[in-house]
Structure 1
Amino acid sequence: MATIALLVSAYLVGSLSFAVIVSRLFGLPDPRSYGSGNPGATNVLRTGHRAAAALTLVADAAKGWLVMAAALHYGPAWGLSDAWVAAAGIAVFLGHLFPVFFGFQGGKGVATAFGILLAVSPWLGLSVAGSWLITFAMFRISSLSALVAALFTPLFAALWLKPTFVGMVIILAALLVWRHKSNIRKLLRGEETGFGKPAPRPQDMPPE
């Protein structure tokens, strides 16, 4: 029962799509209806409301951190193995990608993944954040920064984590890359929107 309760709770917490929630609180359009159509902090920032974007980023990261930190803290007391604790991290991430409360139309998971990694190992979280920041400083493209960070994450994880959690990190990284498949196609075509440039509306985008 403890394992089921943990995984279901993790998924439900992950299903809180803060891009949509925060946008409603600030009276902003639904982030799924403009820009990239992605309910995430980067798309919320396209409204020009920096506070809403920052709150979205922090909240999405916090839910990943909260679930993973709770699983790591209480898991041993509940008799849960490392594999089940790692599964909680995957569950909260899947909740963000496919939120039951928002028609399973979720974000791409960058902030939530960061929160999960930070809870598992602060050094891992900081290393991943560093790789994202370096790439972003060079190219000013959020999606490219996320992809580069995702590719480096398993290598960083191997330095600090147990094999079970390295496996979790590989799954998270693979899911994150998969969620960015449309961005990868745009990058290859040279069409990806850089930071500070207006993104086309979903209806104006070419077929993928």
Structure 2
Amino acid sequence: MTALTLLMITSAYLAGSVSSAMVVSKLFYLPNPRMHGSGNPGATNVLRLGGRLPAVLVLLFDILKGMIPVWLSYYLGLSPLMLGFVAIAACLGHIFPLFFSFQGGKAVATAFGAMLPIGTELAGALIACWGIVVFVTGYSSLAAILAVALSPVITYFVKPEYTLPVCMLALLIILRHKDNIVRLVRGQENKIWEKGRATGFTQSKK
């Protein structure tokens, strides 16, 4: 692994560590998304807590956190496998942010941003999959899980050389959703328009 690769991986992690949900929530004087709603510092929870504009800003910034490091790494000539490590580093930064006590979100938007440089075909297919599942079921988490699970298959038909990196990224995001999967099976998961249940951390503070 070259010094350039290590630099891009480190930079991606640091970029991912900037919690968009926390920053936007402070700017809009919203409740701490790690302490309220679902307890997840992501766009869906900010939507519940503060409405569309803050949620859109969080979504945009989270996408850019994944897209910019991968795009730069691509133009710097990193191999597909190394691009996968850069993408994972950005997502790990979002999940375990250095600047926010290592308590982050699910990294769905950041992973989506990291996949954007692969091509508009993949991006369009993932958006369509997410949108259809949300429209039919109302579950943002289920939509994210299914879209991410399909991403390696779609990548294989679009740019097969990126299939392995996308598989690595998809596995990370699905593992991050293990609690959501349990709640979905038990029928306890919140739908996107519902207020999030109190988290265990919040309940312990009451």
What is the TM-score normalised by the length of structure 1?
A: 0.91
- Counterpart CA distance in 1 for 2:112 and 2:21 is 16
- Counterpart CA distance in 1 for 2:112 and 2:79 is 22
Task: Name 2:69's counterpart in structure 1.
Answer: 67
Query: Offset at 1:106?
Result: 1.1
* 1:23 equivalent among 25, 42, 45: 25
Task: Name 1:139's counterpart in structure 2.
Answer: 137
* 1:112 equivalent among 110, 113, 135: 110
- Counterpart CA distance in 2 for 1:161 and 1:11 is 25
- Counterpart CA distance in 1 for 2:84 and 2:49 is 36
- Counterpart CA distance in 2 for 1:138 and 1:63 is 29
Q: What is the correspondence of 1:121-200 to structure 2 with a 5 Å cutoff?
A: 121-163=119-161, 165-200=162-197
Query: Offset at 1:84?
Result: 1.9
Deviations 1:47-104 (A, max 9, x none): 1332111100111011111111111112x2xxx4332223211211111111111111
Query: Offset at 1:120?
Result: 2.0
4+ residue runs of structure 1 moved beyond 4 angstroms? none
* Residues 30 and 50, structure 2, Cα contact 8 Å, conserved in 1: no
Instruction: Tell whether 2:103 aligns with 1:81.
Output: no
What is the aligned-residue RMSD (CA, Å)? Answer: 1.4
Unaligned residue ranges in structure 1 (runs of 5+): none
- Counterpart CA distance in 2 for 1:81 and 1:137 is 37
Task: Name 1:48's counterpart in structure 2.
Answer: 50
* Residues 19 and 40, structure 1, Cα contact 8 Å, conserved in 2: yes
- Counterpart CA distance in 1 for 2:187 and 2:86 is 37
- Counterpart CA distance in 2 for 1:183 and 1:8 is 29
* Residues 118 and 126, structure 1, Cα contact 8 Å, conserved in 2: no
What is the TM-score normalised by the length of structure 2?
A: 0.92
